Every structure is written in C-alpha cells, then in structure tokens.
Amino acid sequence: MADTFSFSLDGATVSVTCDPKAPALEVLREQLGVVGVKAGCSPQGMCGCCTVLVDGKPRLTCTLPTKSLAGKTVTTLASVSDEARLRLAGAFATTHAAQCGYCTPAIVLSASTLLALGRAPTDDEVHRALAPHTCRCTGYTSIKAAIGLACAPGLAPFEAPDNASAEVILGLRPFVDDLHRPGTLHAAVVLAPVSHGTLLSIDAAQAQGMPGNVRVIQLKADGQPVRYAGELLAAVVADTRSLARAAAAAVRCDVEATPAPTAVPLARAVRREGTVEPALSQARYRAELEISLAATDAVPLEPESALALPEGGGLLVYSSGHDARGLAERLGAELGVPVRVVLLPSGGSYGARAVAVAEAVAAKLSLTTGSPVSLALEHEEGTRLRARRAASVVTGAAACDEDGRLLAARVNVRFAGGATAHEAERMLARAIDGCSYHLPNLEIIAELHQGPGSPTGPLRGAGPLPVAVVIEALLDQLASAAGVDPFRIRALNALPELEPLLSSMHSASARSAGPLGAALFRTAGGDGAEVVLTVTAPDEVEVQCNVPELGQGRDRQLVEALVRATGLPEETFVVAWADSSVVAAGADGPVDVAAFQAGSALAAAGGSLRALVGRRFVGRAGQAPAELAGCLVRLGDDGGVAAVEVFVAAGEQDPATARSLAEGGAAMGLGIALAEEVPDRDGAPESRFRYLGTLKSKLTPRIVATPLEVGGSARGGAEAATVAAAAATFAAVRAFEGAASDRLPAKASRAAASVGVRIRGSVPASG
Ligand code: FES
Ligand code: FES
C-alpha cells in the first residue's frame, strides 16, 4: 500500500508517494529525477554507486527503504558546496581518478565527508570512506591520491579541472539510463530459468492483468532451444520500470530441461614458425605445464541500458555500446526499418558491451508499441546476458639451451566459447599473437568450442591472456631448470622493443626481496579510428569519433590532440555523442592520431572558424603502434601481495593518461589472477555481484605505474597492463606456493587471501 513521505532533498522539502519499502534509489531517480545518483549493482548493495548522505552519513539507497528517509536530510553531490566540489573535482582530475566516471560521483560524495573534517584524513578514515565503493577502471591508487590531494591543508595544489572532466567527476555527464523522453514506456526482461532445454510455452496471462498497461512480447518462439541459463525469452513493457519488472516476474516460462549439448569445435587459428617438435625434444632444458583459467565477467558498473524511440519511419536508439554505425546497420537489418544509433560514453565496458542486448530489445519494443521505450537491465541480468571472457585450458611446452636462450615453444589453448561466441575469429587471432618473446620455433594453436554456457566475447585480454600466462610460467620453469636468472632469460629472449621495460623492471626488482613474478606483454595496436570535426559556430567545433569512450580517457585524448594540431583553445572543441549517420563503423585505433589528422586538416583550411562554419574535416588513423607493458608483482613473507609495479611505453600519450590506464589495467590483471570468476552454481552462472571477485579498495595494493620512453611510437594501454599483471601475479603465486598452482584465479593462494578472497562453502568470493 502506498504512503506519502516528506524529506529534505538538497535543501528543498519534497514529498513522495510510494510503497514504504520501495528502494530510495528508485524513488530518487524515477520520481524525483535525481539521475546523478547511479544504479550500479542495484539492488545488491555492493558497489556504492547509489550513495547519498542521509543526515550527513553515507547511505546506499538501493537497499534503503524509502520510508526511512521520512523527516531526514538527504544530500547528493548537487548540494555539496561549490568550493568543495571544485576542490574535489580538481584533485580527481589531477590524479586522473575518473575514467568511465560511473563510480566517481558517489566516491566524490563520500570524499566530501572527509574534506569536511578540515584536516588530512588518516588511512583508516580513507579506507572506511571508500569501503562501500567499487571502481573497475582505476585500481583505486589514483582515487586515494585524489582524496589525499583534496584534503591536504592549505591552498589546493592543483588547477581547476576542464569542463568535460568536471562534468564526469561530478556526475553531470549523462549515461543512457539518465536520458528521459516524454511518454516513455519502461521495459523488463524474462530470462530462461534453466541451462538447456526446449521452450514449450510462455504464460503471460497473469502479467497482462497487472496494473500499468502491461504488454508482454515473446522473443523466442515455442519449440525453440534454450541454450543457456539467462537467455532472453520475452520482454515486458509497462508505464513504469517497477511495474514492468513486477509483471516480468509474473511471466511463467515452461521449459523442458534437456541434457547439456556436447561442445563442438567452432573456430581455430594456428601460428607456426620453424619446426617445433625436433627442437623441443633435442633441447637440454625443457618445461611443460597445463593451466586452466576460469570464465570472467567484465563487471562494468553501468547496467546495460538503452532508449529507443520512433524517428521518421524508423528508430533512434541511444546506446552505450561500441559501434554506432555497426549497431544501426544490424538493428536496421533485423527490424526492417532505418535505425539511427547515438552512442553515449559507457560506464565501463572493457569489451563487454559489443553484444548490445538492451538496444535490440528496446528497439523491438519501441517499434511494436510506437512509443519511446527505455530498458535498463538489472546487474544480475546483465551478467547473464553479456559476453564474458571464455574459460580456457592451456597447455604449453618450451625449451632452452644452457644459457637460457629459447629454442622452441608450443602452446595449445582451448576456449569454451559457450552457446554464442562473439567475434571468435578476432579473439583467436589475438590469442596466437600473445607471445612477447623471440622464438625460432613456435607453434600456437588456439581453438574455440561452442557448447553449453553463457555467451563469450573478445573482452580486454580475452585471447592473448592465457597464452601470455603460460609462456611466462614456462620461462620461470626453464630459468629454474637451467640455473639462469629470471630476468636474464627474459632479457635474452624478449622482443627488442620490450628491452627498456625489462631493464627498468630488473632495476626495480632489486629494491626489495621476496617471491617475485615478472611478465612482459606486447600487443598489436588497433586500427581504423576516425574523427569527424564539424565547425558548428565561429567559436565551436563539434567532435565525433568512431572509437567508443569506454573509460579509457578518450575525450581527453581527442581534445589534447586537437589543441596540438590547431592551436585553438580547448574550449573550442565539444566532444559529441557519436551518431551512426556521421561516424564510420566502430574501431579501436588511436584516437589521438586520428584527431591530430582531423585537426591538421582544419588548420590547413586556414582563415577563421567563422568562414568555416558548416564545413567538415575528417582524420583517420591506420594501424596503431603496439602497446607494451611489463609488470612486477612482489609477495611478502606471508605470501600476500606486497607490491605491484607496472611499466608501460609512454608513446605520445599524456604521461598522466598513460599512468592511469596502466594502473587500472594492472588492477584488473591482479583481479583476474587472484579473484575474478563467474562461478557455476548448479549449471547456471552465479551472477550476484559479490561472487564475481571484484577487488575492493582497502585490500587492493597500491599500484605504481611508470610510463617510459622506449623509442619509436609504441605506447602503453590498459589491455597490455592487464595481461602483464595477470601473468606476473600468477608467476609470483607459483614462486611462493609452488608449481602446483595451475588455475586462475588462484583463489586458494595466500596472495588471494591478501586481497580479500575468501572461500565460502562451494562458492569462493572476494570482498
Ligand atoms: S550499492 Fe547500490 S547500486 Fe550498487
Ligand atoms: S571510473 Fe570507476 S568504474 Fe569507471
């Protein structure tokens, strides 16, 4: 039964009428339009994105019943003083503590309580303030540095942030689910309850009789196979999100369970150089091993969301996916109408948003109803529907001579691609590229099998990571067998461009003692980045780019390159949402190179911007320089992670950008090696946030990232840092626990315990 509650919200008295138990987050966002408060893992209370201050104390609103706000004072970042907001935004911008920015406003709000102390907070106070929060992009080091900077006594030791950064940090830049259009209907999804079976029927009678103008649309036909737990079966639209979700819960799906299908080979990639077998069998020293890697989820904090609305004779779809043009073409072909896609920055992706399930559902429902339709998947739904990194089993053998010079290596990696493997060929091509050492005789075979399980895709590191992990472990085994220093064996065999990183790692390794893991990684850069400049006013240039903003600081890189190319002030450039009618198909190349070219074309046109209003200038980048990273992970005497240092090629990137990407990438690698996993529970994926192994701030070690001049144009990158850190962490675990450690994540290790992994019953977890 609904009731009415009054409370103070950012200085104004508000009244709401709702179910007393309705989560405060729902009421704040949907009734009061407070979209700066984010719904990350809602309603699980695990990520901190929904934090507000209630009577000055941080509270998670996704688990807080609205009735408990009655008579209280609720503060969001919007009513923190301008001085405090500016100080915090400046500090977060200075340390690059916001990447995708989805977690950031809530963290800044919690940090404001520390700023209010009027003194430098203790480490313990910082840990307590950050305890509810999760950040998937940064690795927390830059966030803690930002808090320290903001709370340092005296004048602020940083400059005012630029407008774009301030908008991200203070939560003023919208995400897809923050967009509102009049007359919008809300959608919810109905997912398969079993792992394998045949859909017999869907009974929507009860749901259709519920309040809110409920309509149920069946998306999978009766008689069709159900291929994984959580597969999309039907969708519901209703007047509000909560009514849609309630109706979706009332839809009954009759699925006849069937045995799991046998996995069958789907795709294969082979790399062969020289003749491996004779070299392996004749070598003085030989090492072999087999390692398994669990399936991992990207765990982006922003829920998969989409808004679709009629436009002309077709549809306009707002997405936070990867590829505006590609998605527009795909949806247009599926639905038979013209579709335009506008891409907003995503709240973390790491490659996971390529599948665009929410967009497809919202578009279909909008076309069916003729109304705008908004869909935001709950976090568990997203975990079941989006692609994940495939589990894999990788076997390797390698051989060296008495000096430690590598003679041959053979690696076989078999990926469990699940029911649907997205971009399998691309992932396999990247897997066979995952060796960063010179080998005269090398064979890498990567196979992907289709079978039971959730969809998989080319997430950050998905292909090359298992190969790199096994090769680094083989190097350590060979070094030990041949009595060669682990740095010596790497120095003898690393690709030449990695040498500067390795020598810095070697120097750093001498600073302390203890079990050590070291790893190098080189990955080919992406290509196809395109930047389109449109002169929209005498003092304004709109910037669009086909590389999505996925939390990698794209917008900052674009503007920095444009200022360099044109000499125009940075406020001239307004980075706009990419529109499929303007940008090329999605790519992953270097945006700064494309931006510099577009800026140079603009500068070459000469004259004032006034004379160029309406003109367009396009810049395209070819193959990007390689990404290089090296990582050292040192364990303490107790086997806990004591230090993580990551070294990356600086390239032409802003060093602060390179550093922040490397820190965040290394944190993800640490998580993959020690904690991250999508556990299986009775044949279905365990999709609750707390079981996915995301690292929390308190126990994540400080990560020191160092960009280095390496000559040439190679650069650093989050993916290279992720792979190097995962391999180095696993190597450190083996150095402490012994070679019996043969599984990632190494949840039973002391290193895992030191970052908060606990083994509970049959489902290991962290946090
Ligand atoms: S803790 Fe509330 S949305 Fe995650
Ligand atoms: S910046 Fe924290 S989740 Fe992206």
333-389 pLDDT, tens digit each: 999 999 999 999 999 889 888 889 999 999 999 999 999 999 999 999 999 999 999
Pocket mutation for ligand 1, best pick of 47, 299, 305 (most atoms within 8 Å of C-beta):
47
Least confident of 549-558, 595-604, 667-676: 549-558
Q: Quick check: do 265-297+391-491 and 530-620 share a fold?
A: yes
Return the pLDDT at 122: 96
Beta carbon of 104 within 6 Å of any ligand 2 atom: yes
Q: DSSP character for 202? A: E
- Report how far apart, in Å, the C-alpha atoms of 334 and of each of 200, 584, 591, 719 are: 24, 20, 30, 33
Residue 760 predicted with pLDDT over 60:
no
150-194 pLDDT, tens digit each: 999 876 667 777 777 889 999 999 999 999 999 999 999 999 999
- Do the Cβ atoms of 61 and 132 come closer than 8 Å? no
- Rounded to whole angstroms, the Cα distance separating 502 from 281 reads 29
The rounded Å distance from CA 102 to ligand 1 centre is: 12
Q: How many residues does the chain have?
A: 767
User: Given pLDDT bands bounded at 50, 70 and 90, which one contains residue 291?
Assistant: very high
Given the CA of residue 347, which atom of ligand 2 is nearest to it? 4
Beta carbon of 45 within 6 Å of any ligand 1 atom: yes
- Provide the token pair at 464: 């090359």
β-bridge partners, 343: 319, 578
Q: Per the CATH hierarchy, to which homologous superfamily does domain 80-173 belong?
A: [2Fe-2S]-binding domain (1.10.150.120)
CATH architecture, range 530-620: 2-Layer Sandwich (3.30)
Going by their DSSP bridges, the two strands 627-635 and 641-649 should be labelled as antiparallel
Beta carbon of 47 within 6 Å of any ligand 1 atom: yes
Task: Tell me which ligand sits closest to the C-alpha of residue 767.
Answer: 1
Instruction: Find, among 428, 411, 301, the residue nearest to 727 by Cα.
Output: 411
Q: DSSP character for 290? A: E
**Beta strand ranges found along 140-284 (DSSP E):** 185-191, 197-203, 215-218, 225-226, 232-238, 252-257, 264-273
Question: Exposed, middle or buried by CB within 10 Å (0-12, 13-18, 19+), for 219?
Answer: middle
513 Cβ contact partners less than 8 Å away, ≥ 6 residues apart: none
Least confident of 138-147, 248-257, 501-510, 676-685: 676-685
> Is domain 265-297+391-491 annotated with CATH 3.40.50.1220?
no
The rounded Å distance from CA 53 to ligand 1 centre is: 14
Residue type at position 165: S
Task: Give the phi and the psi of residue 159 in degrees, each rounded to 5.
Answer: -95, 165
- Rounded to whole angstroms, the Cα distance separating 171 from 178 reads 11
Return the pLDDT at 762: 38
**Beta strand ranges found along 69-109 (DSSP E):** 73-75
Beta carbon of 49 within 6 Å of any ligand 1 atom: yes
> Of 622 and 46, which is predicted with more confidence?
46
Helix (H, G, I), strand (E, B) or coil at 145: helix
Residue 763 predicted with pLDDT over 50:
no
Per DSSP, helices labelled H in 251-406 are 276-282, 324-335, 357-369, 379-385
Task: Tell me which ligand sits closest to the C-alpha of residue 379.
Answer: 1
Q: Which residue's alpha carbon is nearest to atom 1 within ligand 1?
A: 45
Instruction: Find, among 367, 470, 343, the residue nearest to 741 by Cα.
Output: 470
Residue 611 predicted with pLDDT over 90:
yes
CATH architecture, range 3-77: Roll (3.10)
**What's the gap between Cα 533 and its chain centre?**
28
Residue 93 predicted with pLDDT over 50:
yes
Q: Which residue's alpha carbon is nearest to atom 2 within ligand 2?
A: 135
423-475 pLDDT, tens digit each: 999 999 999 998 999 999 999 999 999 998 899 998 999 999 999 999 999 99
Domain boundaries, the chain: 3-77, 80-173, 185-259+301-385, 265-297+391-491, 530-620
CATH architecture, range 185-259+301-385: Alpha-Beta Complex (3.90)
528-567 pLDDT, tens digit each: 899 999 999 999 999 999 998 876 678 888 998 999 999 9
Return the pLDDT at 156: 67
Q: How many CB atoms lie within 10 A of CB 66?
A: 24
Cα R_g (the chain), whole angstroms: 26
Instruction: Find, among 577, 594, 662, 582, the residue nearest to 628 by Cα.
Output: 662
Beta carbon of 48 within 6 Å of any ligand 1 atom: yes
Beta carbon of 501 within 6 Å of any ligand 2 atom: no
Task: Tell me which ligand sits closest to the C-alpha of residue 131.
Answer: 1
Beta carbon of 136 within 6 Å of any ligand 2 atom: yes
- Do the Cβ atoms of 44 and 72 come closer than 8 Å? no
Task: Tell me which ligand sits closest to the C-alpha of residue 138.
Answer: 2
Beta carbon of 46 within 6 Å of any ligand 1 atom: yes
